[in-house]
Amino acid sequence: MKVFKFGGASLKDSQGVKNVAEIIASEPPRNLLVVVSAMGKTTDMLERVVWSAPSKNDFQAALNEVKQYHSQIIDVLCLDSPVIDEVDMLFNEIENEVSSQRPADELYDQVVSKGELISSLILHHYLLSKNIANRWHDSRNSIHTDRNFREGRVDWSKTSASIEMLRPILKDNIIITQGFIGKTEGGLTTTLGREGSDFSAAIFASCLNASSVVIWKDVPGVMNADPKRIPAATVFSELPFKEAAEMTYYGASVIHPKTIKPLANKGIPLFVKNFSNPAREGTKIHECTVDKLPPLIVFKDNQCLISCKVTDYTFISEQQLSIIFHALSELDVRLNLMQNSAISLSFCVDFRENKISKLIERLQQHFEVFYNTGLTLITVKNYDEITFEKYRKQKGVLLEQSSRSTLQVLVK
């Protein structure tokens, strides 16, 4: 049993859909579960639909953008009635949801989840039109979550029982399903957090004890840096689970951070492969040891450095630290880096304006608070002499920290 996951970039246009179909057709017609994301930038477009809901004109314009994008793809793929009707129905549901007065996050999930439903329907029908047999499956009937909208937490025991029911179908079929989405006990749609389709693939694979997962991407595999920033970046041929998990923690966006754990627990290897060049090896992430990994460089933009300074000539105490950590935990803000001195604690967090201004307000009740936004956190894991010196000595370093294996610098 294998699980494939195709991201938005693989399905961004009609050529992408054809390409994905070719990859699927080259596999045996059974024991394959395919998880898809929304096409291209659909999720961003659907977010604009949600945010624009209060204004009728803006809402219609935003929704039309999504409609046109998909109908053009459907046209070029020469698909007709069933898929056009099914997709129209989903757009009607969006219009109904928007007038339903739901709380913001709940509404978000009901609307944004349509992207994956649409892309999976298009792929399903396109495959049928090419005589590639497959079953469409609504993954909300398999992935059960709580009511934590936009970041649904998976109920693993219910989920694994539901996924188990797919096994007899998979014996003679390929299943096409959606990433990113799930359902609450009460039947409302939830999403698993942005870029969560990788995690969905890992959930299906873990519950089915799959032999492997392949994430098909527009890059040649997992690279030691973002090739857009560092053109000399190279592809890892293999990586230990632990290394891959840490990369995602530091902000490498190649795989969703929650993906590794369920696979590592079951020892299911994860391949990251290039969808426009399927013959290429890509990266195998599994239980292994790799000697002399090259330095791995991760850039995390949009960082905010916050410094809390005591105001009364005392030193920063454990009690004061606990006030800071309490505020962070209550507001669910994750620290990316921290450093303390006699009179202050400084830390770096992702800048989400809403949350961060609340955090600063709270901290100001106890400390003198300084902050800087628009920063980049650079992490160099497994550094060597050259990278160590290069990143420390660049201009605009505000904070620096290193251990025996990892260097982090925060720069303007």
Which listed range, 35-43, 121-129, 164-172, 217-225, lies at the site for Mg ion (CB under 5 A)? 35-43
Q: Amino acid letter at 51?
A: W
Question: What are the φ/ψ torsions at residue 402 (nearest 5 degrees)?
Answer: -145, 150
Q: How far is the CB of 291 from ligand ASP (least distance, A)?
A: 33
Member of 33, 34, 35, 38 binding ligand ASP (CB under 6 A): 38
Query: Closest Cα partner for 334 from 286, 377, 389, 272?
Result: 377
Q: Measured between alpha carbons, how far is 397 from 408 in angstroms, rounded to an integer?
A: 10
8 binds ligand ASP (CB under 6 A): yes
Instruction: Kindly state the number of chain residues that form the binding site for Mg ion, as judged by CB under 5 A.
Output: 3
What does 196 interact with, of Mg ion, ligand ASP, none (CB < 5 to 8 A by kind)? Answer: ligand ASP
Contact status: 4 vs ligand ASP (CB under 6 A): no
> What span, in angstroms and rounded, lies between the C-alpha atoms of 211 and 269?
7
Answer with the entry of ligand ASP, Mg ion, none that 33 interacts with (C-beta below 5 to 8 A by kind).
none
In terms of Cα–Cα distance, which of 163, 242, 244, 149 is closest to 200?
Answer: 163
Q: How far is the CB of 107 from ligand ASP (least distance, A)?
A: 17
According to DSSP, the residues that pair with 408 across neighbouring strands are 379, 401
For ligand ASP, the closer of residues 8 and 282 by Cβ is 8
Interaction of residue 42 with Mg ion, rule CB under 5 A: no
- Measure the CA–CA gap between 144 and 146, rounded to whole angstroms: 7
Any residues with CB less than 8 A from the CB of 181 and at least 6 apart, and which? 109, 113, 116, 117, 139, 140, 143, 189, 190, 191, 192, 200
Question: Per CB under 6 A, which region of 63-71, 190-198, 276-284, 300-308 contacts ligand ASP?
Answer: 190-198
Tokens encoding 321: 């630290």
Binding mask 138-177 vs ligand ASP (x if CB under 6 A, - otherwise)? ----------------------------------------
Do 261 and 254 form a contact (C-beta atoms < 8 A)? no
Distances (CA, A) of 206 to 102, 174, 403: 33, 17, 34
224 binds, options ligand ASP, Mg ion, none, Cβ within 5 to 8 A by partner type: none
Residue 180 sits in the site that holds ligand ASP (CB under 6 A): yes
Residue 112 C-beta: closest distance to ligand ASP, Å = 8
* CB-count burial class (<10 Å; 0-12, 13-18, 19+) for 343: middle
Distance CA 293, CA 238 (A): 10
CB of 194 to Mg ion, least distance (A): 8
Least distance to ligand ASP, CB of residue 66, Å: 13
Q: Which residue has the tokens 């040891």?
A: 289
Identify whether the C-beta of residue 37 lies closer than 8 Å to the C-beta of residue 116.
Answer: yes
Candidates 10, 14, 31, 37; binder of Mg ion (CB under 5 A) is 37
- Residue whose CB is less far from ligand ASP, 192 or 399: 192
**Of the candidates 134, 110, 280, 77, which has an alpha carbon nearest to the alpha carbon of residue 188?**
110
- Sketch the per residue contact string, 104 through 143, with ligand ASP: x for CB under 6 A, - otherwise: -----------x----------------------------
Binding region for ligand ASP (CB under 6 A): 7-8, 37-38, 43, 115, 179-180, 194-197
Binding region for Mg ion (CB under 5 A): 7-8, 37
